[in-house]
Structure 1
Amino acid sequence: MPSVVLEGDPVPATGELPAEALRSLGTRPFGFYVHVPFCVTRCGYCDFNTYTAAELGPGASRAGYAATAIEEIRLARRVLGDADMPVSTVFFGGGTPTLLPAADLVSVLRAVDTEFGLAPDAEVTTEANPESVTPTALAELRAGGFTRVSFGMQSAAPHVLAVLDRRHTPGRPAAAVHEARAAGFEHISLDLIYGTPGETAGDWRDSLTAAVEAAPDHISAYSLIVEDGTRLAARIRRGELPMPDDDLAADRYTAADTLLSAAGYDWYEVSNWATSEASRCRHNLLYWTGGDWWGVGPGAHSHIDGVRWWNVKHPTPYAARLAAGTSPGQAREHLTPADRHLERLMLELRLSSGYPLSDIPPPSRPAAARALATGLLDPAPFTKGRAVLTLKGRLLADAVIRDLT
């Protein structure tokens, strides 16, 4: 999770949730996010809650992390009571989850199954750096119940990888995809980043082509964001690198949509393309469509029916709290009906399924008509009562959302 300090109400030591948040448990999709906060090195653009071995300090280690995460899963069961809520998705993110032994990741997944039960068709994803996996580890993960793997490719251009401080060689992501396929993974994603200082249009086209040729069934493409406090931000501030350009980023996005669409990948969320509905990331769709989830790990966020909370950020106090039998929650907030409406609009409008026109507040409906007239909303779904962004609208999604609130 991004390194943002949020204020909120205290979380009870027991982790107890308000009774009204528990009444509807099991009526919405339920998932687990497991944050694994370890990296070999910190990439220059990253401000996620991750730690190298040198940054961990005493009281936390990779070796004991799985056992600590399992304690939070048991806490989740106590807090949520005996409601029947089979887990439809589990997502291991980071950091680099695959720095842990495959057996550790499988043990955490088994704990989720033991405490809550995995749905028969549960999607279980792990993120991985291409250099952090081996054929043996991938086979162990697949045999242990993982169904999907997402590799951080970022770019196929060596000089772009160097600016991003990525350690893998350009050909390694494709090799990792083939190894995952051989291990039995049907669903594989590659993540790309565009707009890196020094990246040319040709570099980006080559990266897209390399990703498509590797034949994953899902590709994500994200615009580089320069976060304060990162090494990349410092380099830009010193004038070593230029600031990414918004117009150039729009060109890169358009190129991505054109090339990926031609290769059989359909957009289903502004930054995500898949070869079929079955290839879409169901865990992210759970976030985007208002499901419930429990976030395990330092800094992880959770949401149950309008109550959102987040854990302490550093692995040491996180582990200490669980060892003491108390919640690792740092703070929480109760979303108001207005908050929930705004978040739903912000998230669902980014999806290819769009947002119901009938749920747009009456004062904002003229803005929807203007967005249609200016080519930001698709006419065909509009006539059926849905606001769906066009390609132009996706480039201006934030502005469209502001106008419709």
Structure 2
Amino acid sequence: MFGLYIHVPFCATRCGYCDFNTYTPTEAETSHEQYLRALGRELELAEIGPADTVFIGGGTPSLLGADGLGRIMDMVREHVGLRPGAEVTTESNPESTSPAYFEGLLEAGFTRISLGMQSASAPVLRVLERAHTPGRAAAAAGEALAAGFGHVNLDMIYGTPTETDDDVRATLDAILATGVDHVSAYSLIVEDGTAMARKIRRGELPAPREEAYASRYELIASTLADAGFGWYEVSNWARPGGECEHNLIYWRGGSWWGAGPGAHSTLGTRRFFNVKRPERYAAALERGELPIGGEETLTAADLEFERIMLGLRLREGVPREWIPAAAEGVVDKHAKGGLLTVGERVTVTDAGRLLVDGIVTDILAAE
């Protein structure tokens, strides 16, 4: 399968934990219209396709409105093409959506919506510096479902400073009440250079408690399992048929083109990325050049590392023959410790999900 990722670099405000390639109105030197024209030119020059999946992320794609996102899909159809039954997803921030917005997206050919909920707790949202009110994300999910979307995802973040177990339970209750078929749950990572990192350094916020991550993850996993959601990637759960096909392309080592400022692409053994600043991105395309900022050729060792690292995060695991001979002892050790199941495929157990990064490190270090 071949995926197309499109990065929208605009946000109304910057969340305190975010280190993505995004620009607020006071930071952006490129208008939405200039961005859309440049994006169309990139898709034309790329000479790729057709796409099995399209994923528009950001940033805040919903700031472009249904009309702007519909224009992007017109460009995709013209310059890239879509396979029959293609999955077409856009991320959206709850505060920039409405029933009319979702109806417009459905008419434009989108099949999947991903909403950034993060938490149902007002104090937690304030710490994260999210703009929406606690109930808005759930309401937006209801609007998307009412418009006719069969696949709707809600993102949540756990491990925020000041967060309690009750906050996590309230968020899960709110998610399950909506009827969505997909949930993504990510532990908070405090990135250097973010507003949150500066507040923690100054003592204005406590640092996240590492010991809370495991207990919160277990709470999330057990609650979603009881509600009929199955995990298919360590941080992602879905009802049957609700899995995100685009993200599975990444995790299964497929190929994709990343369009937009700062987007990354992988085509076989070739990996490259676009320049980050929207004005540099647009200027390169105005000259008729692809806005590539750098690239590398992946070696066999690189590919082996990534397919094990990503594959073990999936419920399906990896074929046994992918495990290097030098690491078989490590795999057997983790199997005896209850962290791996070994047969024709090597998969992580429920206990192993909590330690998957360390397991991968052990396997690759042994080689």
Q: TM-score, normalised by structure 2?
A: 0.98
User: 1:174, CA displacement in angstroms?
Assistant: 1.3
1:149 pairs with 2:113? yes
Aligned amino acid, residue 41 of structure 2:
E
User: 1:101, CA displacement in angstroms?
Assistant: 2.4
1:323 pairs with 2:323? no
Alpha-carbon distance in 2 for matches of 1:62, 1:115: 20
1:300 paired residue number: 263
1:122 paired residue number: 86
2:19 paired residue number: 47
- 1:100 match: secondary structure: helix
Question: For each residue in 1:100-155, what CA deviation from the matched residue of structure 2 results, as whole angstroms up to 9, or x when unmatched?
Answer: 02122112112222223211110000001111111111111111100000000000
- 2:258 match: secondary structure: strand
Matches within 5 A, 1:67-216: 67-77=37-47, 80=48, 85-216=49-180
Structure 1 stretch displaced more, 220-229 or 284-293: 284-293
Aligned length: 364
Alpha-carbon distance in 2 for matches of 1:181, 1:299: 32
Aligned amino acid, residue 390 of structure 1:
T
Alpha-carbon distance in 2 for matches of 1:95, 1:179: 21
2:350 paired residue number: 391
Greater relative contact order (Cα < 8 A, sep 6+)? 1
User: 1:40, CA displacement in angstroms?
Assistant: 0.4
Question: For each residue in 1:261-300, what CA deviation from the matched residue of structure 2 results, as whole angstroms up to 9, or x when unmatched?
Answer: 0001100000000001x21011000011111111111100
Aligned amino acid, residue 279 of structure 1:
G
Aligned amino acid, residue 260 of structure 1:
L
Structure 1 stretch displaced more, 315-324 or 387-396: 387-396
- 2:27 match: secondary structure: helix
- 2:69 match: secondary structure: helix
2:6 paired residue number: 34
1:66–1:105 CA contact under 8 A, matched in 2: no
Structure 2: gaps of 5 or more residues: none
Alpha-carbon distance in 2 for matches of 1:181, 1:394: 31
1:369 paired residue number: 332
Alpha-carbon distance in 2 for matches of 1:126, 1:173: 15
Structural RMSD (CA): 0.9
Matches within 5 A, 1:211-250: 211-250=175-214
Runs (4+) of structure 1 moved beyond 3 Å? Answer: none
2:228–2:239 CA contact under 8 A, matched in 1: yes
User: 1:312, CA displacement in angstroms?
Assistant: 0.5
1:106–1:141 CA contact under 8 A, matched in 2: yes
Alpha-carbon distance in 1 for matches of 2:324, 2:311: 15
Alpha-carbon distance in 2 for matches of 1:119, 1:213: 34
User: 1:86, CA displacement in angstroms?
Assistant: 2.3
Alpha-carbon distance in 2 for matches of 1:279, 1:110: 25
Alpha-carbon distance in 1 for matches of 2:102, 2:176: 21
Aligned amino acid, residue 355 of structure 2:
L
1:10 paired residue number: none
Aligned amino acid, residue 302 of structure 2:
D
Question: For each residue in 1:45-80, what CA deviation from the matched residue of structure 2 results, as whole angstroms up to 9, or x when unmatched?
Answer: 0000000010013xx111322221111100111xx5
Alpha-carbon distance in 1 for matches of 2:289, 2:8: 20
User: In structure 2, which of residues 29, 34, 38 is the aligned counterpart of residue 64 of structure 1?
Assistant: 34
Matches within 5 A, 1:253-272: 253-272=217-236
User: 1:88, CA displacement in angstroms?
Assistant: 0.5
User: 1:362, CA displacement in angstroms?
Assistant: 0.5
Aligned amino acid, residue 199 of structure 1:
E
Aligned amino acid, residue 37 of structure 2:
A
1:126–1:150 CA contact under 8 A, matched in 2: yes
Question: For each residue in 1:207-230, what CA deviation from the matched residue of structure 2 results, as whole angstroms up to 9, or x when unmatched?
Answer: 111111111100000000000000
2:17–2:194 CA contact under 8 A, matched in 1: yes
Aligned amino acid, residue 152 of structure 1:
G
- 1:193 match: secondary structure: strand
Alpha-carbon distance in 2 for matches of 1:113, 1:287: 22
User: 1:403, CA displacement in angstroms?
Assistant: 1.6
1:285 paired residue number: 248
Question: For each residue in 1:11-32, what CA deviation from the matched residue of structure 2 results, as whole angstroms up to 9, or x when unmatched?
Answer: xxxxxxxxxxxxxxxxxx1111
Alpha-carbon distance in 2 for matches of 1:107, 1:241: 42
Alpha-carbon distance in 1 for matches of 2:135, 2:155: 14
- 1:210 match: secondary structure: helix
Alpha-carbon distance in 2 for matches of 1:74, 1:114: 8
- 1:388 match: secondary structure: strand
Alpha-carbon distance in 2 for matches of 1:136, 1:67: 25
Alpha-carbon distance in 2 for matches of 1:301, 1:164: 26
- 1:53 match: secondary structure: coil
Alpha-carbon distance in 1 for matches of 2:274, 2:292: 4
Aligned amino acid, residue 219 of structure 1:
V
User: 1:359, CA displacement in angstroms?
Assistant: 1.3
- 2:26 match: secondary structure: helix
